[in-house]
Amino acid sequence: MNARTPVGLLLAVLALSACQQRALLPASNAAPLLPPAVAYEAHEAAGGRVPPGGTLRNPHQGDPAVAANGALLFTTMNCDGCHGPDASGSVGPNLAVRRWRYGGADAEVYMSIFYGRPKGMPAFGGALGEEGVWTLVTYIRSLPKVDNLATESWEKP
Amino acid sequence: MRLTLVSVGIVFALMALGAGAGPAHGGTPVAAPTSDDGQWQMPARDYAASRYSGLADINSRNATGLHPVWTFSTGVLAGHEGQPLVVGDTMYVVTPWPNVLYAFDLTKEGYPLRWKYRPDVSSNAIGVSCCDTVNRGAFYADGRIIYNLLDGHTVAVDAKTGRELWKTQIADLGSGETVTMAPLVVKDRVIVGASGGEFGIYGWTKGLDLKTGAVVWTARNIGPDADMLVSPTGFRPPYDSGSDIGARGWPDDAWRTGGAPVWGWISYDPDLGLIYYGTGNAAPYNAEQRPGDNKWTASVLARRPEDGTLVWAYQFTPHDNWDFDATGAMVLADLVVSGKPTKALVHFDKNGFAYTLDRATGRLLVAEPFVAVNWAKSIDLKTGRPVIDPGKQTGLSHGTVKGICPSLEGGVSPSSPPAYSPRTHLFYTSTNNLCMDYSATHTTYLKGTPFMGINSPYVAGPGGYLGSFMAWDAATGKKVWENKEEFPNWSGALVTAGDVAFYGTLDGWFKSIDARTGKVLSRFKVGSGVVGNPITFRAPDGKQYVAVYAGIGGDWLLLAGDVRSDDPTDLRAPADYVKDIARHTSGGGMIWIFGL
- Tens-digit pLDDT profile for residues B47-74: 999 999 999 999 999 999 999 999 999 9
- How far is residue B461's CA from residue B457's CA, in Å, rounded to a whole number? 13
Tell me the pairing of strands B215-220 and B204-209: antiparallel
Residue B483: band (very low, low, confident or very high) from pLDDT cuts 50, 70, 90? very high
Q: How many residues does chain B have?
A: 596
- pLDDT over threshold 90, residue A80: yes
Q: Which of B59, B135, B281, B286 does the annotation list as catalytic?
A: B281
For B549-571, what is the mean pLDDT? 89
Q: CA of B122, closest CA in chain A: separation in Å?
A: 8
Where residue B1 falls among pLDDT bands split at 50, 70, 90?
very low
| Nearest chain A Cα distance for residue B314, angstroms | 30
Residue B303 CA neighbour count, 13 Å, CB half: 30
B323 catalytically annotated: yes
The residues in B 561-580 lying below 8 A from A, measured between CB atoms, are 561-562, 567-574, 580
CA–CA separation, B451 vs B181, rounded Å?
Answer: 21
- Minimal Cβ distance to A118: which of B124, B442, B572: B124
CATH assignment of the domain containing B80: 2.140.10.10
How far B453 CA lies from chain A's nearest CA (Å)? 8
Percent of chain B predicted with pLDDT > 70: 94
Omega before residue B284 within 30° of 0, cis:
yes
For the stretch B383-441, pLDDT in tens is 999 999 999 999 999 999 999 999 999 999 999 999 999 999 999 999 999 999 999 99
Residue ranges and CATH numbers for the domains of chain A are 1-17+55-146 (1.10.760.10)
Domain count, chain B: 1
Q: Which of B572, B576, B586 to mutate to test the interface with A (most CBs of A within 10 A)?
A: B572
Range of the domain at B456: 5-595
Please pick, among B132, B198, B409, B485, the residue that the annotation labels catalytic. B198
In this prediction, residue B184 has a pLDDT band, given cuts at 50, 70 and 90, of very high
Is the CB of A78 less than 8 angstroms away from the CB of B570?
no
| Runs of H (alpha helix) within B94-178 | 124-128
User: Is the CB of A120 less than 8 angstroms away from the CB of B572?
Assistant: no
Q: How far is A156 from chain B (nearest CA, A)?
A: 13
pLDDT computed for residue B329 by the predictor: 98
Is residue B188 annotated as part of the catalytic site, yes or no?
A: no
- Identify the residue with better confidence: B305 or B7: B305
pLDDT score recorded for residue A157 = 79
Partner A contacted by B123 (CB < 8 A): yes
The whole-number pLDDT of residue A33 equals: 56
Name which of B114, B112, B134 is nearest B125 in CA terms. B134
B197 Cβ under 8 Å from any chain A Cβ: no
For chain B, what percent of residues have pLDDT higher than 90?
Answer: 90
Q: Classify residue B499 by its DSSP letter.
A: S
Q: Give catalytic status of residue B198 as yes or no.
A: yes
The ipTM of this complex is 0.87
What's the Cα-to-Cα distance from A58 to each of A16, A71, B30, rounded to whole Å? 15, 16, 62
| B558 near A CB under 8 A | yes
Mean pLDDT, all residues of chain B: 93
